[in-house]
Structure 1
């Protein structure tokens, strides 16, 4: 069987299993197995074919692609990911770009990433703004193990613990707070894809009946950490385009609170400034 036929057959299996991007995933898995690239696939050996078949079967069982390859790309960096840590999504890259734009005129910015997970956001900011000082906070010890690997050499200070009450020594000094917190309502269980529901850690997903429990903690923490005029950006579900901004507005401690859309024009993150 030719390489093209092999990928086509695998893609058909993935499509039947309900995988959202069957052609892409089938090619990515073969590239991973053969050590080539998705656009320039190498002919697999018999041993590699057997391994490929096993990985396709696991992907058809809805194991995340990133868990099978052990990596995820976020902005300009490749991250290591696996069980116990939330797999970063492309949508979050837009929020990081937004916060970097706001910091463009701020020399040596001090930034805090709340609920850092894999360290994707903190690592991106530290890499793209090498003059910045970045702190990342993560409650899960499992996720922190992945974050520590991904943040090695970036200069980011990783803190294990709850974001509520974190970093009191930075109160009123921070230029930007950014967060991708848990925000899925418990009532939305059935609508969440199998890859997320069955493989991303529950601590990174669920946040009360309306999904706003942790966003409220982010709002309170951002209000405490930010200096006057400091920026925040907080990701949320696409159905929270009104309710998430309302959390920040209700504190009466922020101005310019508005919601921002992702590249698919869906409500994706709330932004604003400390009064």
Structure 2
């Protein structure tokens, strides 16, 4: 059976199972089995009998809503190919906007800025900064043991210092207090009240500790902002991702915590996605 026919049948199976990206996922899983890229599938040979069995197993798992990234073991994020799996949050494209903002803010600052990624998970934010802004001193903080294992795996060989600890603990990175140029954070922020509307890929596979932030999604924000304020140097900046229902709440919390130049940013669909601010003092150049 040709690759194209095999993929077409797999697409039908995934569509029947309710997978929104059925064709794309069927192609990506075929590329994974054939050790090629999606763009080269038309040039690929027919699957062997063993590959057919592997592919059928992967399609069945995806049909049961196991995340695609768990099946391939990889997640694309900006220019990175990250190792992911059970126990770590799979990075989303929306977070790339936060990183893009952070990298833009770093341009024109000192050559060796100190950057901290809080709630680092797989290390997507920290590693993006380290690879796209060479010379930055980057720290990635994560508390959960399973996520830490993935973070350390991804950070191996990169100029990122992995720190095991609670992002609200004053003792964590205490030696950097008042000396950090930029803090970026994608914390758990989904309201528990919204759980019923989330896809199975999230509720059944992403770690709850990385997704949910209490009844309204904001439990972590007050202590997190206190820690960020202590870490930042005068004029240092912070960017924090949040739920699209937090367009008013998070900027208000940041102003109440004493931050200046608070600005709400929207994603490509026009939804409130992250908020940035500055600690008073230091640079007076109009950013962020």
TM-score relative to the length of structure 1:
0.97
Quote how far apart the aligned CAs of 1:20 are: 2.1
Give 1:125's match in structure 2, choosing from 129, 134, 137.
Answer: 129
Give the Cα–Cα distance (whole angstroms) in 2 for the partners of residues 207 and 137 of structure 1: 18
SS in 2 for 1:207: coil
**Which residues in structure 2 correspond to 1:1-275 (within 5 Å)?**
1-41=1-41, 42=44, 43-107=46-110, 108-164=112-168, 165=170, 166-251=172-257, 253-275=258-280
Provide the rounded CA distance (Å) in 2 between the counterparts of 1:143 and 1:121.
14
SS in 1 for 2:40: coil
Q: CA deviation at 1:124?
A: 0.7
Alpha-carbon separation, structure 2, partners of 1:216 and 1:32: 43
Q: How many residues align?
A: 274
Q: Tell me how far 1:202 sits from its aligned partner.
A: 1.1
Deviation at 1:79, TM superposition (A): 0.6
Say what the alpha-carbon RMSD is for the aligned residues.
1.0
Contact 2:2 2:47 in 1 (8 A): no
Equivalents in 2 of 1:217, 1:12: separation in Å?
47
The whole-number CA distance in structure 2 between the counterparts of 1:259 and 1:106 is 22
Any runs of at least 4 consecutive aligned residues in structure 1 with deviations exceeding 2 A, and if so which? 215-218
Alpha-carbon distance in structure 2 between the residues aligned to 1:242 and 1:9:
46
For structure 2, which runs of at least 5 residues remain unmatched after alignment?
281-288
Q: Which runs of 5+ in 1 are unaligned?
A: none
Tell me the TM-score normalized by structure 2: 0.93
Measured in 2, the distance between the counterparts of 1:114 and 1:137 equals 5
C-alpha distance in structure 1 between counterparts of 2:229 and 2:131, whole Å:
26
**What is the deviation of 1:36?**
1.2
Q: CA deviation at 1:264?
A: 2.4
